């Protein structure tokens, strides 16, 4: 893992995500290295030739810049972690996300943290009594072997389930982001049922569900990863590629049908 310390010029950037005014990303790159990651385009901004997941640039002056910006900008909703995960492993050392959250809390900015990392529990005390904090914890599978294939350096399934329990036990507003639903590995009625049942057992009340996007650009990497142990999945992916609209419609129907058996608010985003 190549870690560089860099200086940034801005910290709170305008967001195009519905419901979000700003996005906040203390690092460039993400060592979680998810093979479906949509943020790999970030490589070109810093001219990185390395593989996504193998480098991280830590914006070491981020908190200083943010402190100045929050005084000047109008209060608005901040999405933390839109093109990287603010709780990826380097955060244990740099604590830039942690410092940023402290600044947002002091200045009354509402925020939502998007993460796949159990490191977030380190900062629970920072925001657990702050009503304007919410968390979206991503889980795409309950199968640890599948998690290792698709999200190689993110927290384990078990660690994320425990994180969810801690967030809920501390009354933090928490949504599970079930996205992307991984074709072949998470998308059958049985797999969906198992997923929702586990979430209900933990006490999750809201789940956002998304499908795998940009399959055309991700398919080569996915096939290389699954070809050794999951060869039957390859024709499944090729079929989706041939009829992406048909897949979307049938997945949406499956998700809604299965979700209707559970007492969880399930929102399908596609």
Where does this chain bind ligand SF4 (CB under 6 A)? 30, 32-34, 37, 39, 84-85, 116, 151, 154
> What's the closest the beta carbon of residue 13 comes to ligand SF4, in angstroms?
16
Nearer to ligand SF4, 140 or 191 (CB): 140
Taking the complex as a whole, the smallest distance from the CB of residue 53 to ligand SF4 amounts, in Å, to 6
84 or 141: CB nearest ligand SF4: 84
Minimum CB separation from ligand SF4 for residue 171, in Å?
A: 25
Nearest approach in angstroms of CB 82 to ligand SF4 is 8
Q: Which residues does 239 contact at the CB level (< 8 Å), separation at least 6?
A: 247
Alpha helix stretches (DSSP H) within the chain:
62-72, 91-94, 96-106, 124-127, 144-150, 157-169, 189-202, 215-226, 233-242, 244-259
CA separation for the pair 262, 270 (Å, rounded): 20
CA dist., res. 155 & res. 92, Å (int): 13
> Based on CB atoms, which residue is closest to ligand SF4, 84 or 191?
84
The answer, yes or no, to whether the previous bond of 208 is cis (omega within 30 of 0) is no
The Cα 31–Cα 24 span in angstroms is: 17
Q: How far is the CB of 212 from ligand SF4 (least distance, A)?
A: 11
Query: Which residues, 6 or more positions from 171, have their beta carbon under 8 angstroms from its beta carbon?
Result: 128
Query: Whole-number minimum distance, CB 27 to ligand SF4, in Å?
Result: 9
Distance between CA atoms of residues 267 and 210, nearest Å: 9
- Looking at the Cβ atoms of 11 and 259, the one nearer to ligand SF4 is 11
Dihedral of alpha carbons 154, 160, 166, 171, sign: positive
Choose between 32 and 160: whose C-beta lies nearer to ligand SF4: 32
Of 39 and 75, CB closest to ligand SF4: 39
CB nearer ligand SF4, residue 51 or residue 243: 51
Smallest separation (angstroms) from ligand SF4 to the CB of 242: 25
Q: Which two tokens stand for residue 196?
A: 């929702």
Residues ≥6 apart with Cβ < 8 Å to 42: 28, 29, 83, 84
């Amino acid at each position: 893992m190549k870690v560089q310390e860099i200086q940034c010029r801005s910290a709170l950037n305008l967001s195009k995500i519905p419901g979000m005014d700003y996005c906040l990303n203390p690092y460039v790159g993400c060592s979680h290295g998810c093979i479906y990651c949509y943020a790999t385009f970030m490589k070109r901004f810093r001219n990185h030739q390395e593989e996504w997941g193998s480098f991280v640039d830590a914006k070491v002056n981020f908190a200083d810049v943010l402190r100045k910006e929050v005084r000047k900008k109008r209060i608005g909703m901040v999405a933390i972690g839109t093109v990287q995960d603010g709780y990826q492993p380097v955060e244990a050392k740099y604590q830039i996300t942690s410092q940023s959250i402290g600044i947002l809390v002091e200045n009354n900015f509402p925020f939502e943290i998007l993460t796949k990392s159990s490191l977030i529990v380190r900062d629970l005390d920072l925001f657990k009594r702050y009503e304007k904090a919410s968390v979206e914890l991503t889980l795409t599978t309950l199968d640890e072997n599948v998690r290792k294939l698709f999200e190689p350096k993110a927290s384990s399934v078990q660690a994320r389930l425990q994180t969810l329990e801690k967030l809920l036990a501390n009354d933090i507003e928490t949504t599970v982001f079930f996205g992307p639903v991984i074709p072949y590995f998470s998308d059958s009625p049985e797999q969906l049922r198992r997923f929702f049942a586990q979430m209900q057992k933990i006490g999750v009340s809201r789940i956002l569900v998304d499908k795998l996007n940009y399959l055309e650009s991700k398919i080569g990497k996915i096939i290389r990863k699954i070809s050794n142990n999951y060869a039957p999945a390859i024709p499944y992916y090729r079929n989706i590629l041939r009829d992406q609209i048909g897949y979307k419609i049938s997945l949406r129907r499956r998700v809604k049908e299965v979700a209707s058996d559970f007492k969880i608010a399930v929102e399908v985003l596609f």
